[in-house]
């Protein structure tokens, strides 16, 4: 296992290329199981979770041809294996996204329940309900979801109890095989949902309304070979935008799309940073100490839960106090004790963190616990006095391509060393 050694206090100035979106790529790789024809995905991020998902669909019989660091051609013609075992699913919860495609195309699926995850229980009851509403029989048997639809799926009107990103994606993918119209109401509106719909449409599916809270799918689908270019990663872009703010520097984020940053762009303006579009992406600049401002995480286009930890690092050195409320996951404050070890003044009241900005943080050895908590500690280390050592950086490798190198090229002092 490696760790990152960060010597803080240096302004970031320069350009960072934003990679493809991990959370768009994962469902698109799962979607390859739906079609007997080839799907070529470009702009895939070179991160652990994507490599993991490619091996997952490979285990289901998909021929995976990695044609370059950011391109893969997936041919599910030969796919025939319908079981996703516990040892795979427990490593990456998103493996559950193969459930919909498997039961839709093959009439059967046996996928391990994902088990808990660091940030919360993260049940998949909504995924199971959606498949049952489309006509599958769904049961849990000794830790596995067993879904069957031997006489196929039928279109239905699905009203999601909450705008779950994954359940919306499961519903869209399964509905491509359901006869007639499927309507998904209270659908998640995240850009990654719209991008999955664009990928499915390229493959031959008939989908309208993706990106809004009402999606209509006409099935069954006449599949065809397709290519799809994955959207840029708005969470990576938001992370580096806050790196610019916390170091009072300026960064051009090439490939980033300002319209995907939603509430974060407004918050950064509110606290004193500036963001504007450029012909290559967007620019973020911050001349001084940011001011404190409250946030509450919300479904898109509200403030993304995946940027909550990073924002807390920024608020730890802000001028003033603020409340950060986490409404999506029940345990997404594991970065707090680590930030406190660096001198942050944070106290927790249930799902709200009260942060009193300090004029400085002090470098310390800290431990990453999940993907976004680990990058929060890197941001804090960039601003802290002295050296911060972030251990268990394998969490980072799951979702950030070349993070240390990208930051070093903009002036950060970061070394990746063995633990
Ligand atoms: C996606 O997870 C993302 N992952 C998460 O990013 C992101 O935090 C989340 O959406 C919210 O934006 C991928 O896209 C691979 P949800 P997902 O279903 O689909 C509850 C990261 O760091 N829920 O919208 O699992 C759930 O427990 C990751 O990149 C149910 O109760 O999120 C949570 O409280 C972390 N039952 C809430 O809904 C269900 O069946 C939102 O979950 C499904 C979800």
Concerning whether 199 is annotated as a catalytic residue, the answer is no
Give dist(CA 130, CA 168) in Å, integer. Answer: 9
Q: Please state, in angstroms and as integers, the Cα–Cα distance from residue 51 to each residue in 158, 173, 225, following that order.
A: 32, 21, 22
Protein residue closest via CA to atom 37 of ligand 1: 328
Residue 244 · residue 12 · CB < 8 Å: yes
Give dist(CA 17, CA 88) in Å, integer. Answer: 31
Give dist(CA 269, CA 286) in Å, integer. Answer: 10
Give dist(CA 68, CA 164) in Å, integer. Answer: 32
The reply to whether ligand 1 has any atom less than 6 angstroms from the CB of 70 is no
Give dist(CA 139, CA 41) in Å, integer. Answer: 33
Site to probe by mutation for ligand 1, drawn from 93, 126, 164 as the one with most ligand atoms within 8 Å of Cβ, is 164
Confidence (pLDDT) at 59: 93
Confidence (pLDDT) at 115: 72
Protein residue closest via CA to atom 20 of ligand 1: 122
β pairing state of 83-84 and 108-112: parallel
Atom of ligand 1 nearest to the CA of 123: 36
Structure confidence by residue, pLDDT tens digits, 231-275: 999 999 999 999 999 999 999 999 999 999 989 999 999 999 999
What pTM was computed for the model?
0.97
The reply to whether ligand 1 has any atom less than 6 angstroms from the CB of 165 is yes
Find the helix packing angle between 165-175 and 191-202, rounded to 10°.
20
For residue 237, what is the enclosing H or E element? helix 234-246
The reply to whether ligand 1 has any atom less than 6 angstroms from the CB of 53 is no
Site to probe by mutation for ligand 1, drawn from 23, 161, 368 as the one with most ligand atoms within 8 Å of Cβ, is 23
Q: Does residue 134 carry a pLDDT above 80? A: yes
The reply to whether ligand 1 has any atom less than 6 angstroms from the CB of 164 is yes
Protein residue closest via CA to atom 10 of ligand 1: 165
Q: Does residue 32 carry a pLDDT above 90? A: yes
Structure confidence by residue, pLDDT tens digits, 290-310: 999 999 999 999 999 999 999
Three-class SS string for 20-65? ECHHHHHHHHHHHHHCCCEEEEECCCCCHHHHHHHHHHHHCCCEEE
Q: Which residues of 239-257 are buried (b: 16+ CB within 10 A; e: fewer)?
A: bbbbbbbbbbbbbbbbbbb
Give dist(CA 46, CA 142) in Å, integer. Answer: 35
The reply to whether ligand 1 has any atom less than 6 angstroms from the CB of 23 is yes
For residue 137, what is the enclosing H or E element? strand 137-141
Give dist(CA 281, CA 258) in Å, integer. Answer: 8
In which band, very low, low, confident or very high, does the pLDDT at 78 lie, cut at 50, 70 and 90?
Answer: confident
The reply to whether ligand 1 has any atom less than 6 angstroms from the CB of 374 is no
Structure confidence by residue, pLDDT tens digits, 371-395: 999 999 999 999 999 999 999 999 9
Give dist(CA 115, CA 413) in Å, integer. Answer: 38
């Amino acid at each position: 296992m490696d760790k990152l050694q960060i010597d803080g206090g240096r302004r970031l100035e320069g350009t960072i290329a934003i990679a493809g979106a991990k959370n768009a790529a994962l469902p698109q790789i799962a979607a390859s199981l739906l079609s007997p024809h080839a799907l070529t995905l470009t702009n895939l991020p070179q991160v652990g979770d994507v490599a993991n998902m490619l091996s997952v669909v490979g285990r289901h019989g998909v021929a995976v041809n990695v044609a370059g660091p950011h391109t893969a051609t997936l041919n599910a013609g030969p796919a025939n294996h319908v079981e996703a075992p516990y040892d795979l699913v427990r490593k990456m919860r998103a493996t559950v996204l193969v459930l919909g495609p498997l039961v839709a195309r093959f009439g059967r699926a046996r996928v391990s329940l994902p088990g808990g995850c660091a940030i919360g229980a993260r049940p998949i009851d909504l995924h199971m309900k959606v498949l049952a509403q489309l006509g599958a029989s769904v049961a849990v048997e000794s830790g596995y979801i067993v879904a069957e639809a031997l006489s196929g799926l039928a279109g239905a009107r699905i009203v999601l109890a909450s705008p779950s990103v994954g359940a919306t994606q499961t519903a869209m993918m399964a509905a491509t095989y359901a006869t007639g119209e499927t309507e998904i109401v209270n659908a998640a509106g995240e850009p990654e949902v719209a991008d999955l719909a664009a990928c499915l449409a390229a493959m031959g599916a008939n989908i309208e309304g993706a990106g809004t809270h009402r999606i209509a799918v006409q099935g069954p689908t006449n599949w065809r070979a397709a290519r799809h270019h994955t959207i840029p990663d708005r969470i990576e872009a938001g992370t580096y935008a806050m790196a610019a703010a916390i170091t009072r520097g300026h960064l051009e984020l090439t490939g980033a799309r300002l319209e995907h940053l939603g509430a974060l762009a407004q918050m950064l303006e509110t606290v004193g940073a500036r963001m504007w579009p450029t012909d290559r992406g967007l620019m973020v600049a911050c001349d001084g100490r940011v001011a404190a401002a409250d946030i509450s995480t919300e479904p898109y286009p509200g403030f993304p839960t995946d940027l909550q930890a990073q924002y807390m690092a920024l608020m730890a050195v802000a001028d003033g106090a603020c409340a950060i409320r986490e409404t999506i996951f029940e345990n997404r404050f594991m970065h707090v004790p680590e930030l406190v070890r660096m001198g942050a003044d944070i106290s927790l009241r249930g799902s709200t963190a009260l942060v009193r900005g300090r004029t400085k943080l002090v470098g310390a050895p800290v431990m990453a616990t999940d993907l976004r908590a680990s990058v929060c500690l890197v941001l804090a280390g960039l601003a802290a006095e002295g050296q911060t050592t972030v251990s268990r950086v394998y969490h980072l490798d799951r979702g950030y391509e070349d993070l240390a190198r990208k930051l070093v090229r903009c002036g950060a002092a970061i070394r990746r060393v063995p633990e």
